[in-house]
């Protein structure tokens, strides 16, 4: 019994040590710039979005307080080492589509290491 506990302890320790070296990827990379440079809310349709980004990682629905509904397509991608890897990247795009399949709006999220097209205001004076 003592040997099996020792083996389990060593296995857990090895996994923990490898975790700091292991690069993890989630989702499928996509080119946000292509989307952002071409999208025209109210005009761009779902077929164009799929051509630029590929198939979405997920599909859902947004229901407003008044009962109005929008289809929501989501793309996401992340990579980096486990823990606090300063080179890690994460980005997510949610495209909201109206009942005619046109882009109504979208939400972009990403950390600055992931190339998010936002100004870092945390250091502004």
Contact between 20 and 82 under an 8 Å Cβ cutoff? The reply is: yes
SS (H, E, C) the chain: CHHHHHHHHHHHHHHHHHHCCCEEEEECCCCHHHHHHHCCCCCCEHHHHHHHHCCCCEEEEEECCCCCEEEEEEEEEEEEECCCCCCCEEEEEEEEECCCCEEEEEEEEECHHHCCCCCCCCCCC
Task: State how far the alpha carbon of 51 is from the alpha carbons of 46, 93, 103, 125, in Å.
Answer: 9, 15, 14, 41
Q: What is the pLDDT of residues 8-31, one digit of tens each?
A: 666 665 555 555 556 777 888 989
What is the residue whose two structure tokens read 């936002």?
118
Distance CA 97, CA 69 (A): 9
Residue-range domain boundaries for the chain: 23-114
Residue 110 pLDDT: 81
| Structure confidence by residue, pLDDT tens digits, 44-86 | 999 999 999 999 999 999 998 999 999 999 998 888 776 666 6
Report pLDDT digits (tens) over 3-12.
Answer: 666 666 666 6
Domain 23-114 annotated CATH 3.30.1450.10:
yes
């Amino acid at each position: 019994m003592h040997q099996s506990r020792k083996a389990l302890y060593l296995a857990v320790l090895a996994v923990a040590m490898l975790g700091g070296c292991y690069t993890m990827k989630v989702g499928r990379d996509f080119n946000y710039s292509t989307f952002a440079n071409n999208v025209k809310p109210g005009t761009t349709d779902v077929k164009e979005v799929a051509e630029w980004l590929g198939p979405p990682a997920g599909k859902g629905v947004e229901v407003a307080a008044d009962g109005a509904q929008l289809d929501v397509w989501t793309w996401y991608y992340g990579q980096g080492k486990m823990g606090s890897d300063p080179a890690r990247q994460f980005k997510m795009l949610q495209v909201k589509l109206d009942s005619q399949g046109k882009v109504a709006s979208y939400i972009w999220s990403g950390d600055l290491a992931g190339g998010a097209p936002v100004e870092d205001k945390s250091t502004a004076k």
